[in-house]
A and B are shown apart, each in its own frame.
Chain A
Amino acid sequence: MLFLSFGVWWEIDPVIDLISLPSPLVFYQELTTMGFPSIYAEPKGKELNLVCIINCMNELLVLQHKNLRAQEEVEIQHLKLGSDMDHLQNCYAKLKEQLELSKREIVGLQERDRQLQSKNRNLHQLLKNEKDEVQKLQNIISSRATQYNHDMKRKEREYNKLRERLHQLVMNKKDKKLAMEVLNYVGRADGKRGAWRTDKTEARNEEEMYKVLLSDYEQRQKQLLLENAELKKVLQQMKKDIISLLPPQKQKPKERSEDGLVLSDQEEDIGELNKENMWELSCETVREQLTNSIRKQWRMLKNHVEKLDNQVSRGHSGAWNEKDVISREDHELETGKLELEIQQCKEMIKTQQQLLQQQLTCDDDTTLLLQDCYLLEERERLQEEWRLFREQKKNFEKERKSFTEAAIRLGLERKAFEEDRGAWLKHQFLSMTADCKPENTTASAFLRSSDPDIRLVKSASRQRRLPSVLSPAVSPEPFQISQYIAQNSVASEKPAADNMPNLWVEGDDKEETEECTKSWEDSGVGPLFRNLHMEQLP
């Protein structure tokens, strides 16, 4: 058995142990150079490490596999590249061929183009030649024609001479009995006698002729006038139609700066030309104006129609103008709404009609019944309303009562508060004037100090006496305050007090007073007083 190792063929006896192969040293050297660990059990030893060897072998196998795979890959890539290369070469060859073909084609086309151009030039030349020839022939024809005419004239003159000669001969020769034999002369067709040839007759002839011509012209003119009138009418109608068809933008000439002048002119023109008398004139300028104005209007109408067409086509093609879209949607909405409205109205009308019908057509019993029904309905409605009214009234009463109670309470509180205040002021004064002034002055001072109050109160009460006490709608505050002030001057003012006896119930809650005071203070008495003061001065 041959065994190849390291490029050398070894003849091996398969029985022989591998180890007896020439020196594992060779393997060891190779392996170490390849980076494998030593296969010997210990360095420089003779014992071979089997595990190591097997590991080495394994690694070698792995390496081998790797190398094989790498080789395969390389081979595949090589093949691929080879085929790519082939492909590219084919493409290149084809493209080269195509290029060649195209070049040849171009050359062919250029050649053809050149030929056609030369042909064209030839044809042009031929055409020119033909034209020249035609011109020449025409000249020849005209010259021949003049020649023929000249010859004809000559021949004719000769012929005339012959005729004259013949005539002379004939007339001379004959027997003068150029006869007309007639049994008897017939009368003229119109029964008149023949007239002599005179100047008068000549003049009359002329006259007659001119009369005939004139009558013919007059007739024609009449026809033309009629035609003209008709056409003018038609034009007028057309004008009106065009004006009605044109959009109302035309009515605002100021908005359009460019067309402003033109439009205003046109409007003027229209105004002018719509006058009846202008239509009757037939002079040049009026006619021109008329036709011009109609043309302008027609053009405007045309433009308008074109614009509409464009809009429609744009809409169809999808290039939407925002304004148009919305307006259309709006328009549709509007139309929907209007339709609904119309339907509702129609239904209403129908029902009303039916009711009317019933009213009109039904007989007495049913009418009475119906009327009773209506009355019942109405009565029930009225009762309902009464009920509601009474309820509301009750509510109002309740509210009023609560308000009045609240007012009374408030008044009481205020009264208590004032008493406290008065007491406190008294106390203050007393303490203050304990050193300097006697008691009378305090009272007078008190009185004096409360003078403006009293004065105010007097007038206020006087004023407040007049308006009715019970008015729940009026805000309770000034009312209460005036009451309180009135109450404040119980000592001096009786009528004021008299005014309020009903309201003032007992009860003097401290808390309420405090609250009241607070509320009174918070509500800002000053301005209230000021208000009162103001009210005094009308």
Chain B
Amino acid sequence: PWFLEVFKARILPQLSPVLSPQASCIQHRLVVRDASSLQILQLYTCLDQIQYIEWSSDSLFILCAMYKRGIVQVWSLEQPDWHCKIDEGSAGLVASCWSPDGRHILNTTEFHLRITVWSLCTKSVSYIKYPKACQQGMAFTKDGRYMAVAERRDCKDFISIFVCNNWQLLRHFDTETQDLFGIEWAPNGCVLAAWDTCLEYKVLLYSLDGRLLSSYRAYEWPLGVKGIAWSPSSQFLAIGSFDEKVRILNHVTWKKITEFDHPATISSKKTIVYKEVEKSPTVDTERLTFPPTRALASSLFSTQSKYDISQVPVSLQYIKPVADRANPKVGVGMLAFSADNCFLATKNDNIPNAVWIWDIRKLKLSVVLEQLCTIQAFQWDPCQPRLAVCTGSSRVYLWSPAGCVVVQVPGEGDFQITSISWHCSGDSMLLLSKENFCVCYLEREEVK
């Protein structure tokens, strides 16, 4: 019982809906719509082409960042006349984001010279010097109390923990990393995971007060960590690495409890493999009209597909990585836990068409989804164990423990879904392509 309603509009970049309204932007215009009806609520005009927009945590403000001009403009939803403009000047702007309280904006200047904290409440400005130019250099705790920033001074890595309330420095400590690559808070806000560059496999776990709790290293020389994911209960830390394995650490001893391998051949009888197969569309030749209607034309040329269950053993499409390129497409690059802690979805970049779903309660591989095209993105429903996958085709794939289904986005033309974003209630999700987006509404099953 899915219910899909599509609304498409030609827009440029990405957008992020938080709570009810939904914002999208076109060129230098910011369009705010209602999330359930997609009616236009507000329309704002910015000074330059918008590169990035973000809602504040209470959904009252939206920031629009224009990196080329180094300007950030903030709009209010309650008062459409209210405006705010932050100009970084010649310092330039490479990144901008909200603080968790929704009243401060953190701008990262060019060359990562500094992070400026602008306050919308007071006239004060704070600076954070020497921020690290890495993939995930800034992390907020889930409750928004603390912020961890990765820094680098004199060729050494440091982490600073700030209290978001008053931007006071709480702790400042150095890390034993060669080249800190990323930091991430555990959902309980008490443990900070930091991992090193891919040349060194090292994952460090720090407590909120800056003590090193544990250090984990699986092997020494080959390429190391590609990405990590915390389980929502903070019980497990999943580490995906370049050796095509995911290692899971437990929060009591910080030791590895299991490792998941991603081989090209699946031979276990207990794993279900769903394979996407194309099915040719049935055309009723009698109903053909001339000239053909748009809908008919599109349906003729769009390929339908469905899921088939493949018999084990299954061998998946395996791509041998190019040996002499940096950042090879090897290893587990995407991993995410489901909201109820029961499942972990991973993608092995050598086997780009498959999503592996692991059952955390049994610590076993439970399902493999084999798609026709390369997986672009997947995201778990924030409320239920439901996974949405997109592969760059005009179909979105949904998996839940009850089964999986292919959802075709209706409409004309090509709609290549490149990313998915769930609504926080789990009722709808946003499907984004390069230039368009559409909203998919999911009907809730009645519980009898």
What residues make up the interface of A, taking CB atoms closer than 8 Å to B?
Answer: 138, 141, 145, 149, 152-153, 156-157, 163, 166-167, 170-171, 173-175, 177-190, 194-195, 197, 201-202, 205-206, 208-210, 212-213, 216, 220, 224
Contact = CB atoms under 8 A, between A and B. Distances in A.
A79 to B, nearest CB: 74
B170 A181 contact: no
Question: Which of B74, B101, B120, B209 counts the most A-chain CB atoms under 10 A from its CB?
Answer: B120
B150 to A, nearest CB: 15
A514 to B, nearest CB: 115
Interface of B: 57-58, 61, 74, 76, 81-91, 101-103, 111, 113-114, 118, 120-125, 145-146, 154-155, 163, 165-166, 168, 170, 178-179, 188-190, 199, 207-209, 221, 251-252
A197 B168 contact: yes
B84 A181 contact: yes
Nearest to A163: B111
Contacts of A216: 188-190
A194 B121 contact: yes
Contact of B168 (A178, A179, A201, A213): A201
Given A185-B123, A189-B58, A209 B209 contact: yes
Residue among B84, B122, B145 facing the most chain A CB atoms (10 A cut-off):
B84
A76 B441 CA distance: 113
Given A153-B155, A178-B87, 17 more contacts: A145-B199, A167-B113, A174-B90, A180-B118, A181-B84, A181-B86, A183-B84, A184-B82, A186-B61, A186-B103, A189-B57, A189-B58, A189-B101, A205-B166, A208-B145, A209-B208, A213-B208
Contacts of B87: 177-181
Nearest to B130: A160
A456 to B, nearest CB: 111
Contacts of A149: 178
6 contacts: A152-B179, A177-B89, A179-B85, A188-B103, A188-B121, A206-B170
A197 B251 CA distance: 35
B181 to A, nearest CB: 14
B190 A212 contact: yes
Given A174-B90, A209-B208, A212-B189, A185 B221 contact: no
A180 B82 contact: no
Given A216-B188, A216-B190, A209 B170 contact: yes
A138 B86 CA distance: 52
Given A183-B83, A216-B188, A178 B58 contact: no
Contacts of A171: 91
Given A182-B120, A185-B122, A173 B113 contact: no
B82 A183 contact: yes
A436 B58 CA distance: 165
A197 B166 CA distance: 8
Q: Closest 9 interchain pairs by CB?
A: A182-B84, A216-B190, A153-B155, A189-B101, A181-B85, A170-B90, A186-B120, A180-B86, A205-B163
Nearest to B91: A170
A170 B74 CA distance: 25
Contacts of B145: 208, 212
A210 B146 CA distance: 13
Given A185-B120, A186-B120, A186-B121, A157 B188 contact: no
A58 B52 CA distance: 146
A181 B83 CA distance: 8
Contacts of A190: 101
Given A182-B120, A194-B121, A213 B190 contact: yes
Contact of B121 (A179, A187, A209, A220): A187
A220 to B, nearest CB: 8
A205 B209 contact: no
Contacts of B122: 185, 194
Contacts, number: 114
Nearest to B76: A186
A308 to B, nearest CB: 33
Nearest to B112: A163
Contacts of A141: 221
Given A141-B221, A186-B121, A213-B190, A163 B84 contact: no
B89 A175 contact: yes
A205 B170 contact: yes
Contacts of B85: 179-182
A148 B81 CA distance: 55
A507 to B, nearest CB: 117
Contacts of B146: 209
Contacts of B114: 167
Nearest to A164: B113
B101 to A, nearest CB: 5
Contact of A188 (B101, B113, B178): B101
A166 B207 contact: no
A188 B367 CA distance: 47
Contact of B207 (A181, A187, A213): A213
B102 A189 contact: yes
A208 B88 CA distance: 34
Contacts of A173: 90
A138 B221 CA distance: 8
Given A138-B221, A190-B101, A197-B168, A178 B89 contact: yes
Contacts of B251: 220
Given A141-B221, A163-B111, A212 B101 contact: no
A200 to B, nearest CB: 11
B111 A185 contact: no
Given A213-B190, A213-B207, A174 B120 contact: no
A174 B89 contact: yes
Contacts of B208: 209, 212-213
Contacts of B103: 186, 188-189
Contacts of B165: 205
B83 to A, nearest CB: 6
B209 A178 contact: no
A213 B213 CA distance: 13
A178 B88 contact: yes
B111 A166 contact: yes
A201 B83 CA distance: 32
Contacts of B252: 220, 224
Nearest to A187: B121
A216 B185 CA distance: 14
A185 B123 CA distance: 8
A171 B127 CA distance: 14
A205 B123 CA distance: 22
B121 A185 contact: yes
A176 to B, nearest CB: 9
Nearest to A181: B85
Contacts of B124: 194
A512 to B, nearest CB: 113
Contacts of A170: 89-91
A188 B82 CA distance: 16
B439 to A, nearest CB: 28
B168 A205 contact: yes
Nearest to B152: A156
